[in-house]
Structure 1
Amino acid sequence: MVLEKLGGIFKNALNKITNAIFVDKKLVEEVVKEIQTALLSADVDRQLVLQLSEKIRELALNEKIKNVEKKEQLIALIHDELVKILGGEKKELQIVKGKQARIMFVGLYGNGKTTAIGKLANYYSKRGLKCCVVGLDVHRPAAPEQLEQLAERAKITAFIDKKEKNPEKIWKNIEEKISKFDLILVDTAGRDVLSDELIIELKKLNSLINPQYSILVMAADIGQAARKQVEGFVKAIKIDGVIITRMDGTAKGGGALVACQEAKAPVLYIGTGEKLQDIETFNPEAFVSRILGMGDLATLMEKVRTAVSEQEIKKTKRISEKFTLLDLYEQLESMSKIGPLGKIAELIPGFGGMKAKLPENMLQVQEEKLKHWRYAIQSMTKAEIDEPEKIHDTRISRIAKGAGISASEVRELIKQYKLLKDLIGPGGMNTAEGEEGQEIGEANLNQIKGMGISQKKLQKLAKRFGRRIPGL
């Protein structure tokens, strides 16, 4: 991911500050140069980069501040200034279940507008809202078909008319049908450029639809040019926010984010991949924390909610006392929906820096192993899934052959299953919903200690989950 490279430069600069014995002029210039390189490569406005550079120099060379305090203040300054130029506070749409909201999406061709609509429909439907999409792009070939396919993948209703070429007629024909939905996401026509013809059409549709929100969709690779595009659309209709797509594929994403802030159009969401769940609410502070290697747990939890439905989450909370391989399979399926382990690792505090020190391809190897475990479970009979303890050598060979994996991988799966069963089962770390203070059994405590977890970490873990651990 392009952001990894950007984050690597910033982490290197911060490490120089924290590891330095003294903060002198030579160190400051090295740090400033690295930060300038990172921001300019991200297409951030040169004037903003120079302003930040001067603030760093001013603080670093202030002799009234003690050296230790100076290090902390420098890191805090870099963090806070980056948050400020990216928009400061997080901006959110006020969308609630039971109160209908209409969102009109605008944007030029090739910026991922229709895909963004599909992603956002999936995002809100996973949060319990009844969503539908409406196709009013009558100019781009295959636009209705694309929206229809995205809606099918997200399992939501799509209102399209492949024959009608008047968007106003399409809207009037479906206006009564959409009354039962919480959220209506409307795809409008784009053009190669922001022409007078497009502006007239958008103004008419805006008056007809009367949306609660109008969102502009732009690709990250336009960089600083985003400001001009935002200002052009603002002249046509009121823009409540922006979605920046393709943040995972360009070095210019930072420039686009900053340009939107300068144009007074808050970035609401960013697209981070091709899958339906690859969309995040944009939180400047969390975004900067991730770049600086400090993690972003809020986005991690949001990814879980976007990938896994509320029904699936409730099901996970009610894992039966008889933990089977089917339960484990469902957990592996949920993990695969959240995203690659590498992306997940970036969001875990403290793991961002650790990730760079791991052997090359280690996370990919682990990801492949989880995939093989899923294949193994798919190759088992119902009896084997319900009672894996009864799987002997002959069955292991058959399962391995059916899954196209080695017998040792099947044995490893069964071993991990048994460990999880002991931890989750009666006397383990599992509690029924609403129970507090259940003790972790002595046998399980010994197993956890065997993993190399210190007493101090165990105490923190116990406190977090409301458990009592005997002997600690």
Structure 2
Amino acid sequence: MVMEKLGSSLKDVLRKIANASHVDQKLVKEIVRDIQRALLQADVNVKLALELTKSIENRALTEKPKTGMSVKQHVIKIVHDELVSLLGEKRELGLKKQVIMMVGLYGQGKTTSAGKLARHFKRRGQKVGMVAADVHRPAAYDQLSQIGEVIDVPVFGIAGEKSAPKIAKAGLEHFAGYDVIILDTSGRHSLEKDLINEIKALSKVADPTEKIMIVDAAMGQQAGPQAKAFHDAVGVTGVFITKLDGSAKGGGALSAVSETEAPVLFIGTGEHIEDLEPFDSNRFISRMLGMGDIQTLIEKAEEVVDEEKAEQTMRKIISGKFTLIEMRDQMEMLTNMGPLKKLMSMVPGMPAALSDEELEDMQEKLRKFKIIMSSMTHEELMDPKMIKSSRVRRIAKGSGVDNSDVRALLNHYNLSRRQMKGIMGNRKLRKQLQKQMKDGGAGLGM
């Protein structure tokens, strides 16, 4: 999970509030110190951390809870709201015709981020093209082309050309009529004059709708001055913070950038091309505090789940048919959405309910179960009752697991089948599901 250590410390604070017999000045001062310590360890600026915790303390001691809200709930809400305000207002990049220019220093992840952004728009029905305008880094064009092949997005470049504005101009003409054009540009080791001049020249030619600066989360508080310098020089319209999952300084980067006039638009949450999230401070903090993020979970499901296949699976289950094929389809839908640890962080209450070891064990079981089912015949998947000792041994040998692993899968299937039978035995629920199917809802998108 993104910024796991900070999230763990803040969740401890919320548990301390929830488990307290009552809320008094002593408890408030204690949790304020805990929050200060957690923020400073995450590289949040000292001044910002002190201002935020002072505000939490003043509000917790002077504000009265709203009608129907307990004092504990009120204090927890104050902590949540103040942390959201620290990270700034949400700003979205809409689905419209636009030219996006990526800017930043060397080694920040510009080219990979261009690919992630291209995939983001393509998955939302936009026609996307990428332009390789980095003329200084060797193999930059090749790298962007490889990313383009993976995500099925065309890339324009001119091998050997040393004029970035010339490439940009030709690229815009090449992709005329496309919804989104993304320009990958050169970086430098620092914000040098020639970099600023090149970006200004590119900007004049491309007239970009957005100038997005790429910042590595490991820069911590230094991300703030860098974002401000780029913003002052070339009018940055937003920031994309990369590698947020692997940096202890992510809090410093987020809070520092939020102080500039360039809002955080996206965060990179992993090394894979799909590890990208539009930044929403409210959702981000809710997930970090263990309050879940159901909206992002739904969006993730809608992005990766095959609606037609999900509907077919749901129709079979409603009709009383639940074989290993339906169970396998459900497992594939779940694993396609990403690591269980990341998914569970979006479900309210789940991060605290399951340990990292339990989540890893679940992930490993899902992986092993899918391998075992791939060694079964179609008849065995359709009728698991036929799988006796000799078949268990054959399946175990074919999938490289122990006999006990095959039996564990069959036990899991029998338990799931009983649960499905119980759910479908509820006539009211079954009618509701059938109605939703008629209205066009299916699977995880219902």
Is the structural similarity TM-score above 0.5?
yes
The one of 143, 146, 161 aligned to 2:143 = 146
Distance 2:416 2:94 in 1: 40
Cα deviation per residue 1:239-280 (whole Å; 9 max; x = unaligned)? 221111111111211111111221011111111111111111
Runs of at least 5 residues in structure 1 that lack an aligned partner in the other structure: 437-463, 466-472
Q: Secondary structure at the match of 1:133?
A: strand
Give the drift of 1:412.
Answer: 3.5
Say which is worse superposed, 174-183 or 5-14, in terms of deviation: 174-183
Distance 1:34 1:368 in 2: 35
Residue number in structure 2 paired with 1:115: 112
Residue number in structure 1 paired with 2:391: 395
Q: Secondary structure at the match of 2:438?
A: coil
Give the drift of 1:218.
Answer: 0.4
Distance 1:196 1:289, change over 3 A: same
Give the drift of 1:221.
Answer: 1.3
Is 2:272 the counterpart of 1:275?
A: yes
Give the drift of 1:377.
Answer: 2.2
The one of 350, 365, 372 aligned to 2:368 = 372
Q: Assess if the C-alpha contact under 8 Å between 2:95 and 2:126 holds in 1.
A: no
Is 2:272 the counterpart of 1:259?
A: no
Distance 2:328 2:182 in 1: 34
Q: Secondary structure at the match of 1:132?
A: strand
Is 2:407 the counterpart of 1:411?
A: yes
Q: AA paired with 1:83?
A: V
Q: AA paired with 2:312?
A: R
Cα deviation per residue 1:287-327 (whole Å; 9 max; x = unaligned)? 11112211111222233344x16xx2332123263665445
Q: Secondary structure at the match of 1:128?
A: coil
Residue number in structure 2 paired with 1:159: 156
Distance 1:236 1:314, change over 3 A: farther
Q: Assess if the C-alpha contact under 8 Å between 1:290 and 1:346 holds in 2.
A: yes
Q: Secondary structure at the match of 1:139?
A: coil
Q: Secondary structure at the match of 1:203?
A: helix
Distance 1:217 1:24, change over 3 A: same
Residue number in structure 1 paired with 2:340: 341
Say which is worse superposed, 257-266 or 426-435, in terms of deviation: 426-435
Q: Secondary structure at the match of 1:187?
A: strand
Is 2:85 the counterpart of 1:84?
A: yes
Q: Assess if the C-alpha contact under 8 Å between 1:23 and 1:60 holds in 2.
A: no
How do 1:67-82 and structure 2 match up within 5 A?
69-82=70-83
How do 1:86-101 and structure 2 match up within 5 A?
86-88=87-89, 90-96=90-96, 100-101=97-98
Is 2:225 the counterpart of 1:222?
A: no
Distance 1:155 1:385, change over 3 A: farther
The one of 289, 298, 302 aligned to 1:301 = 298
Distance 2:322 2:28 in 1: 56
Distance 2:2 2:206 in 1: 38
Residue number in structure 1 paired with 2:442: none
Residue number in structure 1 paired with 2:184: 187
Q: Secondary structure at the match of 1:34?
A: helix
Is 2:312 the counterpart of 1:315?
A: no
Residue number in structure 2 paired with 1:456: none
Residue number in structure 2 paired with 1:7: 7
Q: Assess if the C-alpha contact under 8 Å between 2:101 and 2:211 holds in 1.
A: yes
Give the drift of 1:410.
Answer: 2.4
Q: Assess if the C-alpha contact under 8 Å between 2:102 and 2:185 holds in 1.
A: yes
Residue number in structure 2 paired with 1:173: 170
Distance 2:184 2:299 in 1: 25
Considering only aligned residues, what root-mean-square deviation do their CA atoms show, in Å? 3.0
Is 2:438 the counterpart of 1:435?
A: yes
Output the TM-score relative to the length of structure 1. 0.82
Say which is worse superposed, 316-325 or 206-215, in terms of deviation: 316-325
Give the drift of 1:24.
Answer: 3.3
Distance 1:209 1:318, change over 3 A: farther
Distance 1:177 1:388, change over 3 A: farther
Quick one: percent identity of the two aligned structures?
A: 43
Q: How many residues align?
A: 429
Distance 1:424 1:112 in 2: 49
Q: AA paired with 2:52?
A: L
Distance 1:32 1:315, change over 3 A: same
Is 2:284 the counterpart of 1:287?
A: yes
Q: Secondary structure at the match of 1:280?
A: strand
Say which is worse superposed, 328-337 or 287-296, in terms of deviation: 328-337
Give the drift of 1:8.
Answer: 1.7
Q: Secondary structure at the match of 1:277?
A: coil
Residue number in structure 1 paired with 2:40: 40
Say which is worse superposed, 143-152 or 48-57, in terms of deviation: 48-57
Q: AA paired with 2:244?
A: M
Output the TM-score relative to the length of structure 2. 0.87
Q: Assess if the C-alpha contact under 8 Å between 1:127 and 1:305 holds in 2.
A: no
Say which is worse superposed, 173-182 or 132-141, in terms of deviation: 173-182
Give the drift of 1:417.
Answer: 4.2
Q: Assess if the C-alpha contact under 8 Å between 2:56 and 2:82 holds in 1.
A: no
Residue number in structure 1 paired with 2:243: 246
Is 2:228 the counterpart of 1:231?
A: yes
Distance 1:425 1:63 in 2: 48
Q: Assess if the C-alpha contact under 8 Å between 2:172 and 2:206 holds in 1.
A: no
Q: Assess if the C-alpha contact under 8 Å between 2:169 and 2:206 holds in 1.
A: no
Give the drift of 1:154.
Answer: 1.6
Q: AA paired with 2:35?
A: I
Give the drift of 1:36.
Answer: 0.3
Residue number in structure 2 paired with 1:102: 99
Distance 1:289 1:49 in 2: 19
Distance 1:288 1:221 in 2: 20
Distance 1:101 1:327, change over 3 A: farther
Give the drift of 1:132.
Answer: 2.3
Distance 1:165 1:313, change over 3 A: farther
Give the drift of 1:433.
Answer: 5.7
